[in-house]
Amino acid sequence: MTKLRPASVPSVPVGANFRFGESPFHVKGVLYQGTHAFFNDNLKGGMETLISEIDDQQLCDFIRQPFLASAWYDVMPAPVLIAYEAHALRMTIEEYLHHRTRYQAKRDLGGVYGAVLRVAPVAVVAARLPGVMVRMFDFVQSEITRNEHQALDAMMHGIPLPLEPWLRVSVQIYSDTALKLAGARTVEMERPHAVSEGERAGVRLVGLPIKLRWS
């Protein structure tokens, strides 16, 4: 099988002052455990088929390592890994992000969590979502700026720009899934532009506005 490097997605962001796998931005290992579970369930040959298409040995070694659910790992390999993952499934990156996130949301919010969501008021679930989502990362902070009847505005601060498309889709799909489990009939999320928040370690940071409306 021909190996492919997604040319438009660097393994380290341009201008960053850290090496691959050594950024100051970390995510809990459960994220990468989810990658293994997804590809073992959805791709013939599982993770080994995905890895066989990657021409970056550092990335291969990174994703092959055993991940502990609550341990911290560099998150900046995620954008280039997502590009390879999309290619392995013959999807665009946007198609893959939606497909993969729906799969993950159903797993994460099912079972016991789903039972809890079904008895919690929708407004309570909405107010807790931003804080719950940022616990996956050691560099993101959230604040609620508006909490009214069937409406919630929040901001996620400190997001490296290369991660913004992925996190925007994640917020949208997890919010839709969680609020509907809690009893909302419809869920809408506006898509305002990200807000510049300077830089860290040579990587541009943005704030991600969240505007949820439900009925």
41 burial (CB, 10 Å; 0-12 / 13-18 / 19+) is: exposed
**CA gap 11, 94 in Å, rounded:** 19
Percent above pLDDT 90 for the chain: 78
Tell me the per-residue pLDDT of 90-110, one tens digit each, with 9 for 90 and over. 999 999 999 999 998 888 887
140: exposed, middle or buried (Cβ count in 10 Å: 0-12, 13-18, 19+): buried
pLDDT of 185 above 70: yes
Q: What is the DSSP letter of 208?
A: E
Residue 30's region, left for phi above 0, alpha for psi from -120 to 50, else beta, is alpha
Predicted confidence (pLDDT) at residue 147 exceeds the cutoff of 90: yes
| Cα–Cα dist 129/122, whole Å | 11
Q: Is pLDDT at 190 greater than 60 in this prediction?
A: yes
Higher confidence at residue 168 or residue 191?
A: 168
Q: Which segments of 5-160 are extended strands (E)?
A: 26-28, 72-74, 141-148, 151-160
Instruction: State the chain's mean pLDDT as an integer.
Output: 91
Residue 118 has pLDDT above 90, yes or no: no
- In the prediction, which pLDDT does 191 show? 83
Q: What is the pLDDT of residue 99?
A: 95
Query: What does the alpha-carbon distance between residue 208 and residue 171 come to, in Å, rounded to a whole number?
Result: 10
Beta strands in the chain (DSSP E): 26-28, 72-74, 141-148, 151-160, 187-190, 195-200, 203-214
Q: What is the pTM of this model?
A: 0.90
pLDDT digits (tens, 9 = 90+) for 7-42: 577 889 999 999 999 999 999 999 999 999 999 999
Residue 5: the pLDDT is 53
Q: Which range has the worst mean pLDDT, 12-16, 117-121, 162-166?
A: 117-121
pLDDT digits (tens, 9 = 90+) for 65-87: 999 999 999 999 999 999 999 99
Question: CA of 83: how far to CAs of 54, 88, 138, 183, in Å?
Answer: 10, 9, 23, 35
**2 contacts: CB under 8 Å, gap ≥ 6:** none
> How far is the C-alpha of 194 from the C-alpha of 206, rounded, in Å?
6
Strands 26-28, 72-74: pairing is: antiparallel
